[in-house]
Amino acid sequence: MAHDEGHTVATKAPAHILEARRPRKGSRRIGILGALVPFLRPHRTLIGAAAMVLLVTTLVSLALPLIVRRLVDHFNAGNVELLDRYFVIGLVGVAALAVGSALRFYLVARLGEQVVMDLRNAVFSRVIGLSPAFYETTMTGEILSRITADTTLVQNVVGSSAATALRNVLTLTGGVFLLVTTSVKLSALVLLVVPLTLVPIYLLGRKMRLASREAQDWLAASSGKASESLSAVQTVQSFTNEKASRTQFSFFTAKAFAAARRRIEIRAALTFFVILLSFTACVSVVWVGIGDVQRGLMTPGTLVQFMIYAVMVATALTATAQLWGDLQRAAGATERLVDLLSAEDGVTDLEAPTPLTGPVTGHIVFEDVHFTYPTRPEAAALAGVTLEILPGETVALVGPSGAGKTTIVQLIQRFYDPTGGRITLDGCDLRDLSRPAFRRNIALVPQDPAIFAASATENIRFGRLDADQAAIEAAAKAAAAHGFITGFPQGYDSHLGERGVMLSGGQKQRIAIARAILRDAPVLLLDEATSALDAESETAVQMAVDRLSRNRTTVIIAHRLATVKKADRIIVLNEGHVVATGTHDELIAAGGLYARLAKLQFIG
Ligand SMILES: Nc1ncnc2c1ncn2[C@@H]1O[C@H](COP(=O)(O)OP(=O)(O)OP(=O)(O)O)[C@@H](O)[C@H]1O
């Protein structure tokens, strides 16, 4: 019932999920697992050792039935000494098998853990560097699901299934060879059935893989939904939308369940066919074999030996059917991980970027910059912006909502590349510089600063990771944050809670300002908070900003009269154009958009 409701409430399934239902180019191939080779290569020694152990244990397990045959055939011969010898050999074999199996488990499981660790790190290090355009179309919760759930599927394969598959292949090869040498006639019977079992494995395996990938996709979507709702839990609760959130979430989990159920059904069918076919063959063989023993064509020991091999071969086949499913599932997961690893970034650095020579002065120039957000190709966010910000100058960006102020600040950081024109820092096109190199010269104070679930010290240190405690406290003092931090029970060691839930708006801003002070960069970008602070916080923040912007190129998205009045120059934007520049008094005298905005927006 809840699921049906879900259909009406839930948003449409993400586009890539709908897309996932269609088989993609190459999605039929299990060969995608080859993408894991670069992750396996560094562990060659481990793999080699595991393969050796695997070979030895398989050979030992194939040899044991030979002993069993001798035991059976000499059972009544009265030669106790010979029997004892066989038992001792058998026990040695069993011991070798035990040691080998334990060692194989250890080596292979460790390999799985290591490969998955590397894979997780690779995916995270890839996505953490992707420019914001990527996150406009991908939910973070979904990426988390890829990093946890999908990598776990890969781990199953690398950390067990692959080894089991290899063992099965060896057992099958060795077992079939030994079957034939034991009895050609009975083997012919068994080998008739082997190809038959492969047919359902092949036919159903592909379906299973598609269902599995779909289940993983829905699972990822449900994580995306959950993390979105959880990160806005207060908004959800104050609008009493918990029920709708639950319904939406259960819509996604129900979809994941339905796909998983389809996979399980297919696998159940597969298990049925494989067990039926392989064990039917076993039983028929025993039937025929007992006749041969009665007619004296073979010894009972040989029949027992043959039966053990037949069971080994049949078991290996059954396991292969299941493993094939695991491999298919891992192929689906790998495909998605590969998608993430090879996600194209709209913003890329040159192979040989221009090095920044000497200290940056902070001379920023926009030359006829046009820009359209990739997700909104029909509307230009900037339509020919030309402006120059001199070293050390403080510039206030002012304009109605949607005018393009934030866009300008984003482009200065090269989160996007302009679609036309160019932006230079100290005369260098941003596209020719390496992002990490020039961003080191920029400090950002966002409107709603990110606060991490860590101590006050660690949060401020985010501005410059190698800063010592003294520098951190000095920055906090300059940002008027020292007072409230020392007021906390654990002072600088106080935990600030995820997203800074334990701080007021003004306190968060002062932490962000302390970070920027610590960074000590020649360019300061500041998005002034729109929310009103109390007079005391307001003055404290204002003073901290003044101190911070002195002797630096400062670009402020201004929302307060005090700020614009202090700016060297105000740039008025409207609909992606610069419509006027000047000081507060000049612009008021000119009486255009700014005069109107000033009257409406700045209360002072
Ligand atoms: N990530 C985005 N994807 C698509 N369009 C965007 C994106 N960010 C902003 N826009 C659009 O670009 C235009 C300029 O937005 P921008 O955020 O630069 O305005 P702003 O002047 O900072 O407004 P505000 O004062 O309300 O923050 C707006 O029409 C906005 O809807």
Q: Which residues contact 147 (CB under 8 A, 6 or more apart)?
A: 120, 123, 124
Q: pLDDT tier at 499 (50, 70, 90 boundaries)?
A: low
**Nearest alpha carbon, ligand 1 atom 30:** 402
Task: Give residue-wise pLDDT tens across range 71-123.
Answer: 888 777 677 788 888 888 888 988 999 999 899 889 988 998 999 999 999 99
Residue 559 Cβ < 6 Å to ligand 1: no
Q: Which residues contact 527 (CB under 8 A, 6 or more apart)?
A: 406, 409, 444, 445, 446, 447, 556, 557
For the chain, list the domains and their CATH numbers: 2-23+32-341 (1.20.1560.10), 364-601 (3.40.50.300)
Q: What is the mean pLDDT of residues 355-381?
A: 89
Residue 400 Cβ < 6 Å to ligand 1: no
Read out DSSP for 279-290? HHHHHHHHHHHH
Helix (H, G, I), strand (E, B) or coil at 565: helix
Q: What is the 3-state secondary structure (H, E, C) of 82-103?
A: HHHHHHHHHHHHHHHHHHHHHH
Q: What is the mean pLDDT of residues 382-408?
A: 92
| CA 407 to centroid of ligand 1, rounded, Å | 6
Instruction: Tell me the best of 369, 375, 405 to mutate to test the pocket of ligand 1, counting ligand atoms within 8 Å of each CB and taking the most.
Output: 405
- At 407 the pLDDT is 94
pTM above 0.90, yes or no: no
- At 500 the pLDDT is 66
Residue 373 Cβ < 6 Å to ligand 1: yes
Residue 401 Cβ < 6 Å to ligand 1: yes
| CA 515 to centroid of ligand 1, rounded, Å | 26
Tell me: pLDDT of 34 over 90.
no
Residue 403 Cβ < 6 Å to ligand 1: yes
Residue 376 Cβ < 6 Å to ligand 1: yes
Strand 553-557's sheet: what is its strand order? Answer: 442-445, 523-527, 553-557, 394-398, 569-574, 577-582
**Nearest alpha carbon, ligand 1 atom 29:** 402
pLDDT over 70, % of the chain: 92
Q: Can you list the positions of beta strands (E) in 353-511? A: 364-371, 382-389, 394-398, 420-425, 428-429, 442-445
Mean pLDDT is lowest, of 39-43, 144-148, 167-171, 199-203, for: 199-203
Residue 506 Cβ < 6 Å to ligand 1: no
CA atoms within 13 A on the CB side of 277: 22
Tell me: pLDDT of 525 over 90.
yes
364-371 vs 442-445, strand pairing mode: unpaired
Q: pLDDT tier at 534 (50, 70, 90 boundaries)?
A: low
Dist CA 179 CA 62 (whole Å)? 11
Q: Which long-range contacts (CB under 8 A, 24 or more apart) does 160-166 make?
A: 160/108, 160/109, 160/112, 161/323, 161/326, 161/327, 161/330, 162/108, 163/50, 163/54, 163/104, 163/108, 164/319, 164/323, 165/320, 165/323, 165/327, 166/51, 166/54
- At 602 the pLDDT is 63
Dist CA 543 CA 548 (whole Å)? 9
CB 568 within 8 A of CB 394: yes
Neighbours of 232 (CB within 10 A): 13
CB 469 within 8 A of CB 457: yes
Q: What is the mean pLDDT of residues 416-430?
A: 92
| CA 446 to centroid of ligand 1, rounded, Å | 15
| CA 230 to centroid of ligand 1, rounded, Å | 25
- At 531 the pLDDT is 64
Read out DSSP for 199-263? HHHHHHHHHHHHHHHHHHHHHHHHHHHHHHHHHTHHHHHHTT-HHHHHHHHHHHHHHHHHHHHHH
Tokens of 553: 């190129």
| CA 377 to centroid of ligand 1, rounded, Å | 13
Dist CA 385 CA 376 (whole Å)? 19
Tokens of 559: 């929302």
| CA 132 to centroid of ligand 1, rounded, Å | 13
| CA 582 to centroid of ligand 1, rounded, Å | 24
Tell me: pLDDT of 27 over 50.
no
Of 567, 584, 573, nearest in space to 400 by CA: 573
What value does the CA radius of gyration of the chain take, rounded to a whole number of Å? 34
- At 557 the pLDDT is 92
**Nearest alpha carbon, ligand 1 atom 31:** 402
Residues listed for the chain: 604
Tell me: pLDDT of 278 over 90.
no
Dist CA 517 CA 493 (whole Å)? 20
Instruction: Tell me the best of 369, 398, 406, 593 to mutate to test the pocket of ligand 1, counting ligand atoms within 8 Å of each CB and taking the most.
Output: 406
Mean pLDDT is lowest, of 331-340, 404-413, 541-550, for: 541-550
Instruction: Tell me the best of 373, 559, 574, 602 to mutate to test the pocket of ligand 1, counting ligand atoms within 8 Å of each CB and taking the most.
Output: 373
Tell me: pLDDT of 409 over 90.
yes
Atom number, ligand 1, closest to the C-alpha of residue 573: 21
420-425 vs 364-371, strand pairing mode: antiparallel
**Nearest alpha carbon, ligand 1 atom 16:** 404
- At 312 the pLDDT is 86
Task: Give residue-wise pLDDT tens across range 120-172.
Answer: 999 999 999 888 888 888 888 888 888 888 888 888 888 888 788 888 888 88
pLDDT over 90, % of the chain: 23
CB 177 within 8 A of CB 59: no
Q: What is the mean pLDDT of residues 430-447?
A: 90
Q: What is the mean pLDDT of residues 215-233?
A: 85
Q: What residues does 397 pair with on adjacent strands?
A: 557, 571
Tokens of 491: 């002072």
Helix (H, G, I), strand (E, B) or coil at 441: coil
Residue 378 Cβ < 6 Å to ligand 1: no
Mean pLDDT is lowest, of 12-16, 446-450, 454-458, 516-520, for: 12-16
| CA 233 to centroid of ligand 1, rounded, Å | 25
Q: pLDDT tier at 10 (50, 70, 90 boundaries)?
A: very low
CB 505 within 8 A of CB 531: yes
Dist CA 131 CA 510 (whole Å)? 27
ipTM: 0.93
Q: Which residues contact 181 (CB under 8 A, 6 or more apart)?
A: none
Residue 380 Cβ < 6 Å to ligand 1: no
Q: Which long-range contacts (CB under 8 A, 24 or more apart) does 174-178 make?
A: 174/58, 174/59, 174/62, 175/62, 175/309, 175/312, 175/313, 175/316, 176/313, 178/62, 178/65, 178/309
Residue 574 Cβ < 6 Å to ligand 1: no
Tokens of 388: 């120059």
Mean pLDDT is lowest, of 162-166, 365-369, 387-391, for: 162-166
Atom number, ligand 1, closest to the C-alpha of residue 399: 21
Q: What is the mean pLDDT of residues 436-453?
A: 88
Dist CA 368 CA 379 (whole Å)? 17
Q: Which residues contact 76 (CB under 8 A, 6 or more apart)?
A: none
| CA 313 to centroid of ligand 1, rounded, Å | 65
| CA 404 to centroid of ligand 1, rounded, Å | 6
User: Tokens 């409701």 sit at which residue?
Assistant: 5
Q: Which has the higher per-residue pLDDT, 364 or 166? A: 364
CB 183 within 8 A of CB 298: yes
Helix (H, G, I), strand (E, B) or coil at 419: coil
**Nearest alpha carbon, ligand 1 atom 26:** 401
Residue 547 Cβ < 6 Å to ligand 1: no
